[in-house]
Chain A
Amino acid sequence: MELVCPAGNYPSLKAAVDNGADAVYIGFRDNTNARHFAGLNFTDQRAIKALDYARNNNVRLFVAINTYAQADQWSRWQYAVDACADLQVSALIAADMGVMAYACEKYPELSLHLSVQGSATNAAALELYHQQFNIRRAVLPRVLSLKQVQALVKKSPVELEVFAFGSLCIMAEGRCLLSSYVTGESPNTAGACSPASAVRWEQRANGGMDTRLNGVLIDRFSAYEQAGYPTLCKGRFKVQSEAEEKIVHALEEPTSLNTLNLIPQLSEMGISAVKIEGRQRSPAYVAAVTRIWREALDACKANKNEFQPEGRWMAELSKLSEGSQTTLGAYSRPWQ
C-alpha cells in the first residue's frame, strides 16, 4: 500500500518525503483546493521546488484541485489544471465533473484521481467516473464499514485509497453544507470548513471558554477542559431524546481517525493507498505521523501474520490526535 502524506507548505513536504512518504499531496494557494487557509499551500514557484524535492527522492507528487469550480471563477480552475499538466505531476486529485472533463480532454496523459469530495461510495459511481474521465484511483469517503470497503474493492474498476489517520470527517465529504449554513463558506465553494475568520474564542469569568463560529455558540468548556476548534459537527448541543433533554456531542466527539491496526486487513483486501489527513498541520506533525506509518507499513509487509501496532506508535499518534482520542470511525460498525 502506498503511503500518501499531506503537505500544506514546503517544510511539511520535506518532512513527509524525509520520513518515508511514497506520495505527497499539495494544493495551490487559492480556493481550488479544499484546504484553503491563510498562509497555506503552494504558489507555482513553490510547487516547482516541491516537485523537484519529491522527484529527487523518488516520491510521487499529487495536486488536489478538489473544490467545485465556481462558475464566475471558472478560469481559476482551468489555470490550476494547466499548471498541473505543466508540472507533470504524478496525479491530479479532482472532484468536479467539469474540471475532470477539462483535464481529461486537454491532457489525456495526466493521471486523474477522484477526490474524496467526489462522494463516490459505490461501484456504479466509480464506474461512471472511470468511464467518463478515465480516473485511475478514487479516495473513499469515511462512511463505509470495513466489510463494505472490502466488498467495494472487489467491484471497483479503479484503485482505491482510504483515509488512515487524521481529523475525522463524519459526514460524506463533498456533501456537507454545515459550514456554509453557519458561515457562508464551505469546502465545496470556498475550500474551507469552519473558516478561521469566523472563529471566536471567549474567555468566561469562571475561567472557562466559549467557542463560536460566526457568533453561533459551538461549545462551552469549563476551566479544566481544553477548548477545541469550533467545528460544527464536534460541538456540544442541546437535544431531546426520548428520556430527557441533554447537552451532548450530538454528532461526534472531538476525536481523530486512527486505523493503524487495520493495516493487514486493508492491505489484504487490495486497498492501493492509505492517506494521512492534515495539510493544515505543522511539519513536526507530518514528520511524526509519516515516520510511524512508514514503520508500521514496513513491519506489516515484512510479517503480515504477526503484525501488531507497537505501543509507542499508538501512544505517539494518540498525542497527535484531537482531544487525544482516536477511533476507527465508520470502518467499525458499532461506531455507526
Chain B
Amino acid sequence: MQTTLGPLLYFWPRQDVFDFYEKVSQSGIDRVCLGEVTCSKRRELNHGDWMAIAQLLADAGKKVVLSTLTLLESESELSQVRKICDNNEFMVEANDMSAVKFLSSNGLEFCTGPSLNIYNAYTLKQLYKLGLKRWVLPLELSEKKLTSILQQAEELKLNDKIETEVFSYGYMPLAYSARCFTARVNDKGKDECEFICRKVPQGIPLATQENEQLFTLNGIQTMSGHCMNILNRWQDMEKQGVHSMRLSAHSYDVLDIADSLISSIKDNKPFVSELSVEQCNGYWEGGSGKDQFYREVR
C-alpha cells in the first residue's frame, strides 16, 4: 500500500506553502500532488514556484504529480491547464476532462483525481485507451461499489493495467460552483473578493441552526463539515487491490497521521484510530457521507 498526499485545497500564504512542502519532503509519504485546483485567482505561487517545489520533492525521493484546476470557466484557465499538461517532467492528475484531452493529445500517461466521474469499469476502459494509469474512486462511492467496479474491470481485463487510489483522510470536496461562498458570506462579490479566503486557511465552518456541523466553505468549493477518516481500513483496501490511500493536505497534522499510517503499513499491523467528534467515515461504509462510527478492524 502506498500513500498519496492530495493537493492543497485551501489558500495559504506563499511562505506557509513552501514551509509545508519542506516538511512534506521529510515525511514518509510516497507520492505528492501539487498545484492550485480550487480557484484560478489564487496565484500566490506561480507555475515556476510549483515546479520548484516539485523538484524539491522529487529530489527527496517522492513521486510528484501535478494536479489541474477542477472547474474551468474561462480561456485563461484553460491555458493554465494546458501549461501544466505540457510540462515534460511530471505526471499530471486530471481534475477535468480538458486535462484528459490535452494529455491524451500529447500521448502522455495520466492519472485522474476524485472529481472525474468514474462509476464503472466501462468508463475506466475509455480512459485507459486515452492513457489512464491511476484513478481515484469518486468520493461518494462505498467499499461495496468499489468491489463491483473492480470486478467489472477484471472482466474487461483492466485490473493489472490501472492503479486504484482511495481518498481516505481529510475534508472532502463535495461540490463546485460559479460562486465564491467565502466572498459571499462576507458580503463581497467574486470579482472583489480581496482574497478573503487567505484569512481562513481551513475554510469557514457552516452549521445548521441546531449547531450541527454540516459543511465547510472554501471559496467556490463546498466541503464536508467533518474530516473523513478511514485509515483503519487500509488492510481491507489492500486485499481489494487498492494501490494507494490519499490523505488531503489540510494541515501539518496530516503529516503526523501519515507517518503513523506508514509505520502500520511497514509493520503490516492494523492502524488504530478512534474517530474523533470532528471526524466521519465518508461514504466508505455505504450510507451517507457524514456517518460517524468507529468500526473495529476485523
Comparing A2-10, A85-93, A240-248, A312-320, the segment that makes contact with chain B is A240-248
The verdict on A74 contacting B175 (CB below 8 Å), with A177-B139, A241-B185, A334-B189 known, is: no
B183 nearest CB neighbor, chain A only:
A336
Q: Are A124 and B98 in contact (CB under 8 A)?
A: yes
Task: Tell me if B231 is interfacial: C-beta within 8 Å of chain A.
Answer: no
Q: Are A177 and B289 in contact (CB under 8 A)?
A: yes
Task: Tell me if B151 is interfacial: C-beta within 8 Å of chain A.
Answer: yes
Q: Are B207 and A177 in contact (CB under 8 A)?
A: no
A112-135 contact mask (Cβ, 8 Å, vs B): 1 or 0: 000000011111110111011000
Q: Give chain A residues whose Cβ lies under 8 Å from the Cβ of B123.
A: 68-69, 96-98, 101
The verdict on A97 contacting B126 (CB below 8 Å), with A124-B98, A182-B288 known, is: yes
The verdict on A241 contacting B174 (CB below 8 Å), with A98-B125, A250-B181, A251-B181 known, is: no
Q: Are B177 and A237 in contact (CB under 8 A)?
A: no
Q: Are B78 and A188 in contact (CB under 8 A)?
A: no
Within 8 A of A (CB), among B259-298: 283, 286-290
A242 nearest CB neighbor, chain B only:
B186
Q: Give chain A residues whose Cβ lies under 8 Å from the Cβ of B222.
A: 171, 178, 233, 251
Q: Are A71 and B120 in contact (CB under 8 A)?
A: yes
A239-281 contact mask (Cβ, 8 Å, vs B): 1 or 0: 1111100011011100000000000000000000000000000
The verdict on A188 contacting B119 (CB below 8 Å), with A148-B74, A237-B207, A239-B205 known, is: yes
Task: Tell me if A166 is interfacial: C-beta within 8 Å of chain B.
Answer: no
Within the complex, what minimum Cβ distance (angstroms) separates A149 from chain B? 10
Within the complex, what minimum Cβ distance (angstroms) separates B118 from chain A? 8
Q: Are B185 and A250 in contact (CB under 8 A)?
A: yes
Q: Give chain B residues whose Cβ lies under 8 Å from the Cβ of A242.
A: 186, 196, 199
Other-chain contact of A96, B96, B120, B152 (Cβ < 8 Å): B120
Q: Are B119 and A102 in contact (CB under 8 A)?
A: no
Task: Tell me if A156 is interfacial: C-beta within 8 Å of chain B.
Answer: no
Comparing B13-21, B28-36, B211-219, B249-257, the segment that makes contact with chain A is B211-219
Majority secondary structure, A binding face: mixed
B interface bracket (residues with beta carbon within 8 Å of A) = 35 or more
Task: Tell me if B75 is interfacial: C-beta within 8 Å of chain A.
Answer: yes
Q: Are B100 and A128 in contact (CB under 8 A)?
A: yes
Q: Are A127 and B101 in contact (CB under 8 A)?
A: yes
Q: Are B174 and A177 in contact (CB under 8 A)?
A: yes
Task: Tell me if B168 is interfacial: C-beta within 8 Å of chain A.
Answer: no
The verdict on A239 contacting B140 (CB below 8 Å), with A71-B120, A151-B75, A175-B115 known, is: no
Q: Give chain A residues whose Cβ lies under 8 Å from the Cβ of B179.
A: 170, 251-252, 330, 335-336
Question: How far, in whole Å, are A247 and B204 apart by their CA atoms in the complex?
Answer: 14
Q: Are B214 and A237 in contact (CB under 8 A)?
A: yes
Within 8 A of B (CB), among A52-70: 68-70
Q: Give chain A residues whose Cβ lies under 8 Å from the Cβ of B119.
A: 68-71, 96, 98, 188-189
Q: Give chain B residues whose Cβ lies under 8 Å from the Cβ of A99.
A: 122
Task: Tell me if B202 is interfacial: C-beta within 8 Å of chain A.
Answer: no
Question: How far, in whole Å, are A176 and B224 apart by their CA atoms in the complex?
Answer: 12
Q: Give chain B residues whose Cβ lies under 8 Å from the Cβ of A158.
A: none
Q: Are B71 and A172 in contact (CB under 8 A)?
A: yes
Question: How far, in whole Å, are A233 and B181 apart by their CA atoms in the complex?
Answer: 11
Question: How far, in whole Å, are A171 and B98 apart by their CA atoms in the complex?
Answer: 19
Q: Are A128 and B97 in contact (CB under 8 A)?
A: yes
Other-chain contact of B145, A72, A127, A238 (Cβ < 8 Å): A72
Within the complex, what minimum Cβ distance (angstroms) separates A98 from chain B? 3
Q: Are B97 and A124 in contact (CB under 8 A)?
A: yes
Other-chain contact of A239, B102, B138, B204, B286 (Cβ < 8 Å): B204
The verdict on A122 contacting B120 (CB below 8 Å), with A98-B125, A172-B177, A336-B180 known, is: no
Task: Tell me if B184 is interfacial: C-beta within 8 Å of chain A.
Answer: yes
Q: Give chain B residues whose Cβ lies under 8 Å from the Cβ of A233.
A: 175, 222
Task: Tell me if A36 is interfacial: C-beta within 8 Å of chain B.
Answer: no
Task: Tell me if A199 is interfacial: C-beta within 8 Å of chain B.
Answer: no
Q: Are B174 and A181 in contact (CB under 8 A)?
A: yes
Task: Tell me if A174 is interfacial: C-beta within 8 Å of chain B.
Answer: yes
Q: Are B102 and A238 in contact (CB under 8 A)?
A: no
A143 nearest CB neighbor, chain B only:
B178
Other-chain contact of B283, A180, A218, A219 (Cβ < 8 Å): A180
Within the complex, what minimum Cβ distance (angstroms) separates B155 from chain A? 10
Q: Are A238 and B211 in contact (CB under 8 A)?
A: yes
Q: Give chain B residues whose Cβ lies under 8 Å from the Cβ of A68.
A: 117, 119-120, 123
Task: Please list 7 pairs of residues, one from A and one from B, whose beta carbons are closer than 8 Å in the complex, sorted by A's number.
Answer: A68-B119, A71-B149, A175-B71, A180-B283, A218-B208, A219-B209, A235-B208
What 9 A-B pairs are tightest by C-beta distance, nearest first?
A: A98-B122, A124-B98, A68-B119, A181-B289, A125-B97, A143-B178, A71-B148, A330-B178, A128-B101
- Please list the residues of chain A having a beta carbon within 8 angstroms of any beta carbon in chain B: 68-72, 74, 95-99, 101-102, 119-125, 127-129, 131-132, 142-145, 148, 151, 155, 170-172, 174-178, 180-184, 186, 188-189, 214, 216-220, 233, 235-243, 247-248, 250-252, 329-330, 333-336
